[in-house]
Amino acid sequence: MTDLFDFSTFPRLYTDRLVLREIVMDNALAVFRIRGDFQVTRYNTGPAYATIDQARKLITGMQKSYNDHDELRWGVTRKGGDNQVIGMVGFNYWHRKDRRGSVGYDLARAYWHQGIMSEALRAVVAFGFERMNLNRIEADCTVENTASERLLLKLGFQPEGLQREQYFEEDRFWDVRLFALLRRDYQR
C-alpha cells in the first residue's frame, strides 16, 4: 500500500477518460445544473435545487468537511475536455477506527449510459482500499433506483439489507437498500 491519505493535499484521480478533482466555488453553476435536475436527484433525499445558492452551500459544506477530515468528494471531469464538472463522487464519511467509508455519486443526465460513473466510482473505490486503508465501503440507494443498484453490483458491492420506509419525502416513505464491498472481495 502507498502512503495513507492524510488530507494535506486534495488528491486528483485519473482514469482512461476522466479526471476526478476538487470541487471549487467556480463550479457552482455546474453543481447547480446537476443538483437542480429532478431526474438526477429524484432518488436523493431532499428536493432538486431551486437556486445556485444551494449549490454554493453544498460546495462550502464539502470544503468544510474535507478540512475537518470527514469527507472526500471529487468533481468528475472529462480528460482533455473543458474541465467542466459533469458529476460528483466520493466518500460521504470515513470512520477511521472501523476502517469504513460510504460512497455517493451524482452524474449530469447528458452523461448517463456511457460508463462514466462506473469508471469514476471504480477509481474512488480503489483509492479507498489503497490509500485510505478501508476494509469496508458502504453505499445505499432507494429501491426504485435500479440504475444505481446495477452500478454497485457491477463493481462487486453486495446487498446487505433493506431499511424499510427509511425516509419520508414527496408525501411517501422510501425504502433504502444497503450495499457494501469488503477489501477481501475487492478485485481491481
What domains does the chain contain, in order, with CATH numbers? Answer: 13-185 (3.40.630.30)
Please give the pLDDT value at position 155.
97
69, 128, 160, 66 alpha-carbon torsion, rounded to 10°: 20
> Across the 188 residues of the chain, what is the mean pLDDT of every consecutive 10-residue run?
82 97 97 94 87 98 95 96 94 94 96 96 97 97 94 97 92 95 92
Please give the pLDDT value at position 4.
87
Please give the pLDDT value at position 101.
97
Please give the pLDDT value at position 2.
60
What pTM was computed for the model? 0.94
